[in-house]
Amino acid sequence: MLTIKDKTFVPFITADTIQARIQELAGQINQDYATRQPRIIIVLNGAFIFAADLIKHLTITCEITFIRVASYSATQSTGQLKQIIGLNEPVANQDLIVIEDIVDTGFTICEICDQLKAQQPASLSIATLLFKPVALRKPIDLQYVGFEIENRFVLGYGLDYDGLGRNTQDIFVLVEA
Ligand code: IMP
C-alpha cells in the first residue's frame, strides 16, 4: 500500500509483469523497424521510466528526442493543452515513434500527433505503456500498447499524483473513497 497526500494506492501491475511486457513490445518494434531508422519521441515527464526501459531493448538504430506537454492537474484530465516543447529538429520524412506513459481521454496524444503530422513525417506510430479504452474521447490508432486498463487512476513507474509517486517499480491504483 502507498499513501500520497490524501490518497491511498494499492499494487496493480508488478514490476516483473511490466518488464516482461516491455520486452515483448520492444521485440515487435525491432521487427517492424528492422529496415528503418526511426526517431523516438519521448513524452516527458510521465514516460521517462517506461521509455528508458523500452529503448534498452531496442536493437535498431534510432534517434531519441524528448518533448513535453502539460495537460493534467491532480486526478482529472483538463483537456487543456500546451504546445509541444523541445522539438527543435524538423521531423519531415522521418519515421516517428511517440512514447507515452498513458492514453486516457486521448487529447494529449492526438494533439501531439496532429502537431507532428503537420510536418509530414514518413510515418508515425505510438507506443503507450497504459491505455484506458473506456476513457477515450478521441479516436486514435495505438500501435504498441503495454496494458489496457479500466478507467481508474494509476500511479508509479513514472506516473504521478500531483507531482509525487513517480519513483516506483510497480504500478499502483487509487483506492476510491
Ligand atoms: P489524456 O490527454 O487524457 O489522454 O491524458 C494523458 C496524460 O494524462 C498522461 O500523459 C498522464 O500524464 C496523465 N494521466 C492520465 N491518466 C492518468 C492516471 O491514471 N495517472 C496518472 N496520470 C494520468
How far does residue 104's CA lie from ligand 1's centre (Å)? 5
User: What's the distance, Cα to Cα, between the start and end of the chain in Å?
Assistant: 15
- What average pLDDT does this structure show over 145-174? 97
The closest residue, in CA terms, to atom 19 on ligand 1 is 153
- Tell me the pLDDT of the chain averaged across its residues: 93
**104 catalytic, yes or no?**
yes
pLDDT the model gives residue 176: 87
Is the CATH number of domain 21-27+37-152 3.40.50.261?
no
**Mean pLDDT throughout 70-84?**
58
Q: What pLDDT digit, counting tens, does each position of 44-55 carry?
A: 999 999 999 999
Task: Tell me the β-bridge partners of 65.
Answer: 41
Distance (Å, rounded) from C-alpha 151 to C-alpha 131? 9
Averaged over 132-145, what is the pLDDT? 95
Q: Domain-by-domain residue ranges, the chain? A: 21-27+37-152
Residue 177 pLDDT > 90: no
